[in-house]
Chain A
Amino acid sequence: MNNEQVQAIKNNPKYQKLVSTRGKFAWTLTIIMLVVYYAFILLIAFSPETLGAKISPDSMTTVGIPVGIAIIVFAFILTGIYTRRANNEFDGLLNDLKNDLNNDTKKGMN
């Protein structure tokens, strides 16, 4: 890829849209995962008794168990959300962009 091609792709609005939407989405999900996980870790570090409280007086199950399982399920759901949007939306944008670029190349040859 030479410098001109690089500049052409960088200036293509479809490329810019793909990169910024996907980038924002990926970072948002990353931050959500980090916040959820470190909130859990900080709870363990500073207030373990919160997680050790029983969910109801006549039950042996503690709050920490549904919370822990929920984090595992949540992590999986996040990967599902990303994969779904990437398949449905980002791949479409990408194919659009690739078509554009192919047409440009053909034009260039004529």
Chain B
Amino acid sequence: MLSRILSLFMLAGFTVAMAAGADLGAGTKAEEMNVPAVVMFLIFVAGTLGITYWAARKTKSAKDFYTAGGGITGTQNGTAIAGDYMSAASFLGITGMVYLKGYDGLIFSIGFLVGWPIILFMISEQLRNLGKYTFADVTAYRLRQKPVRILAALGSIAVVILYLIAQMVGAGKLIEILFGLDYEIAVVLVGALMIAYVAFGGMLATTWVQIIKAVLLLVGTTFMSIMVMAEFGFSFDALFTKATEIHSKGIDIMSPGGLVSDPISAISLGIALMFGTAGLPHILMRFFTVADAKEARKSVFVATGLIGYFYVLTFIMGFGAIVLVLGAENGIYLAADGETLKGMNNMAAVWLAHAVGGDYFLGFISAVAFATILAVVSGLTLAGASAISHDLYANAFATGKIDEKKEMNVSKMATVGIGVTAILFGIAFEEQNIAFVVALAFTIAASANFPVLFMSIFWKKLTTRGAVIGGYIGLISALVLVILGPVVWTSILGNAEAIVPYKFPAIFSVPLAFIAIWFFSITDKSDDAQRCIDEFDAQDIRCQTGIGSEGAVDH
């Protein structure tokens, strides 16, 4: 049954590829089909479906489904975490930002990276010791299950859906250009593959797809960076000199520019990036796939190293693209206006691949970019499905006895539901400006998920009322401030001036959430509040020592 469904997916993949070939003759809006890219992509899809088939046979219990049985090693998990973080938005977006603005791209990379040491020191081991499948296991450890689980699930689902929209729209556009597929077909293809990986292979398949993609991406970007540096005799100064000669902003690309113009925006961006990372459900979930706190720790060490290395490469690639893509003879990579890149400015990394490695390497990088999107949306979908099945269904709403089998079935149905939702949103948002969704996802993660998680681990006097009211205040203020801010209020709704002048309102919403959690906890004099406080010591001992924690691997 399973193998039949999987082969059906593969067949669908080939049919789509053929259809793309047929498009060529018809001369539709899609670009010319890139044959090496399609071949390499099909090899990737075949390989990952093979892994899914293998993983499906090993995935029997709920624990297997959510956490790959807890048997992933620290190094593997660290690579998968790095893979989750090196999304298409990072690879194409940050390289594109360096290409367009120079130094400002590096500021973003640094903000994305510095959250990791904080996760290591404050969150990762604690999460591993206290939780089971989702971060709500930690926030609901001693608080009342139902309201806390619902809050965590809403925060998770909001972040997952927003992130998925950004990835789907990006994927559709990218695939349209690289493979010559229609936008809708591309979005449906991504959605179908991600449902297959997650519903059949669970966390085991999702993790291995992510690891393979992370390795491919690191190999590809390392090669590109070496080729760029080789052009300049491995001298950064020579690269920068040439880039400033070619770029229209000239020497300004070497210093901080307009990206963070005022102190409030600068600090706010820092808060959103730093604490947002510690509230992303698909990242937090990965800490449950390892056996113990020691492996959780190792995961972050490996992930930080790989992500940091990758960001240094994106910086080199961005400058490389200025010289080799923007400065290419006859402007072969430029659109008709002679300024923007073919496709979009986010394509800098892709055209750089062509400039340094020709058609075959372009094919390789295109396939890797597609693989990146697939792997990241799978991780997101799994996190969203877990929030629905484990938090909402099994621990908040189900009455009577729930068995694992039922919970897993709900999870698989949720996977299909989230997949279909992502496809529909992806198509609906095709022509929309989606820049705000990533800002919103990070702001919600930093304002709703992170404060509750942090306080539940460290603050004895936290009560259910404090956590729930504080969490919702964080969630709602993040939502309202982003809507009233420049990205939605002016760019999308077309108003003249934004009511809130900041793109990332985390500087307001995060402290607001913390203050509300504090205030509504200390004023809570109910019996339940006293119970929450009394149970902290036992929680803290398990948090500190791991005694009694879930996830010791069964041998």
Given contacts A41-B267, A45-B266, A75-B117, A51 and B256 within 8 Å (CB-CB) = yes
Looking at B36-44, B219-227, B542-550, the stretch in contact with chain A turns out to be B542-550
B541 with A98: CB separation less than 8 A: no
Total count of chain A residues near the partner, CB < 8 A: 51
Within B82-122, the residues touching A (CB, 8 Å) are 103, 106-107, 109-111, 113-114, 116-118, 120-122
How many Å lie between the Cα of A18 and that of B541 in the bound state? 11
**In this assembly, does B54 line the interface, its C-beta being within 8 Å of a C-beta of chain A?**
no
Q: Does A71 lie within 8 Å of B114, measured CB to CB? A: yes
Residues of B contacting A79 in the complex (Cβ-Cβ under 8 angstroms): 116-117, 120, 300-301, 304-305
Q: Which one of B233-241, B330-338, B366-374 is at the A interface?
A: B233-241
Give the complex CA separation of A60 and B546 in angstroms.
Answer: 52
A52–B255 touching, CB < 8 Å: yes
Give bound CA distance, A40 to B197, whole Å. 41
Query: Is residue B531 within 8 Å, beta carbon to beta carbon, of the partner chain?
Result: no
> Residue of A at shortest CB range from B114?
A37
Q: A72-B312, A80-B301 are in contact. Are A97 and B121 (CB under 8 A)?
A: no
Question: What A residues does B312 contact at CB under 8 A?
Answer: 69, 72
Q: Which of A29, A42, A65, A98 has the most CB of B within 10 A?
A: A65
Residues of chain B with a CB closer than 8 A to A59's CB: 237
Among A10, A19, A75, A97: residue with most chain B CB under 10 A? A75
Verify if A68 is at the interface (C-beta below 8 Å from B).
yes
Interface size class of B (residues with CB under 8 A): 35 or more
| Cβ–Cβ contact A1 & B122, under 8 A | no
Contact B545 A51 (CB under 8 A): no
State in angstroms the CA–CA spacing of A37 and B269 once bound together.
12
Nearest chain B residue, comparing its CB with the CB of A80? B301
B266 touches A42 (CB 8 A): yes
Contact between B237 and A10 (Cβ–Cβ < 8 Å)? Answer: no
**The residue from B117, B241, B263, B546 contacting A29, defined by CB atoms under 8 A apart:** B117
Residues of chain A within 8 A of B548, CB atoms compared: 1
State whether A6 touches B537 (Cβ < 8 A): yes
Chain B positions 114-172 with a Cβ under 8 Å from a chain A Cβ: 114, 116-118, 120-122, 125
Smallest Cβ-Cβ distance to A46: which chain B residue: B263
Is A61 positioned at the interface, with any CB of B under 8 Å from its CB?
yes
Q: Does B213 contact A (CB under 8 A)?
A: no
Contact B263 A45, beta carbon cutoff 8 Å: yes
A63–B55 Cα distance when bound, in Å, is: 49
Verify B110–A38 contact, CB threshold 8 A: no
Q: Which residues from chain B contact A78 at a C-beta distance below 8 Å?
A: 117
Interface residues of B in 253-281 (CB under 8 A from A): 254-257, 260, 262-263, 266-267, 269-270, 274
A72 and B308 form a contact (CB under 8 A): yes
Contact of B297 among A6, A30, A69, A86 (CB under 8 A): A86
Bound CA span A35–B125, Å? 23
* B244 contacts A by Cβ under 8 Å: yes
Which parts of A39-83 form the interface with B (CB within 8 Å)? Answer: 40-42, 44-46, 48-49, 51-52, 59-62, 64-65, 68-69, 71-73, 75-76, 78-80, 82-83
Q: Are A44 and B260 in contact (CB under 8 A)?
A: yes
| Prevailing SS type, chain A contact patch | helix
Residue of B nearest to A55 (CB): B237
Q: Chain A nearest CB: distance from B277 CB in Å?
A: 12
Residues of A within 8 A of B311 (CB): 72
With both chains docked as a complex, state the minimum distance between the C-beta of A96 and any C-beta of chain B, in angstroms.
Answer: 11
Let me know if B274 and A37 touch, CB within 8 A: yes
Cα distance A97–B547 in the bound complex, in angstroms: 11
> Cβ of B544: which chain A residues have Cβ within 8 Å of it?
15, 18-19, 22
Q: Is B294 part of the binding interface, using a Cβ–Cβ cutoff of 8 Å?
A: yes
Distance, CA A86 to CA B308, complexed state (A): 22
What is the 8 Å Cβ interface bit string for chain B, positions 190-209, against chain A (1 contact, 0 not)? Answer: 00000000000000000000
Q: A41-B266, A48-B256 are in contact. Are A68 and B545 (CB under 8 A)?
A: no
> Do A44 and B537 touch across chains, with their CB atoms under 8 A apart?
no
Instruction: From the candidates A33, A64, A76, A94, name the one contacting B103 in the complex (CB within 8 A).
Output: A64
CB pair A40 B110 closer than 8 Å = yes
How many whole Å from A101's CB to the nearest CB in chain B? 8
Inside 8 A of B538's CB, which chain A residues have their CB?
1, 6
Q: Which residues of B contact A (CB under 8 A)?
A: 103, 106-107, 109-111, 113-114, 116-118, 120-122, 125, 236-237, 240-241, 244, 251, 254-257, 260, 262-263, 266-267, 269-270, 274, 294, 297-298, 300-301, 304-305, 308, 311-312, 315, 537-538, 541-542, 544-548
Q: A62-B103, A72-B109 are in contact. List 11 more A-B contacts (CB 8 A).
A: A6-B541, A9-B541, A37-B274, A48-B255, A48-B256, A59-B237, A62-B254, A69-B315, A71-B113, A76-B308, A83-B120
Q: Which 4 A-B pairs have the closest CB atoms?
A: A52-B255, A45-B263, A45-B266, A48-B256
Q: List 17 A-B contacts (CB under 8 A).
A: A1-B547, A19-B544, A26-B121, A30-B118, A30-B121, A38-B267, A45-B263, A46-B263, A48-B257, A51-B256, A61-B237, A64-B106, A68-B106, A72-B113, A79-B120, A83-B301, A86-B294
Binding site for B on A (CB under 8 A): 1, 6, 9-10, 15, 18-19, 22, 26-27, 29-30, 33-34, 37-38, 40-42, 44-46, 48-49, 51-52, 59-62, 64-65, 68-69, 71-73, 75-76, 78-80, 82-83, 86-87, 91, 94, 97-98, 101
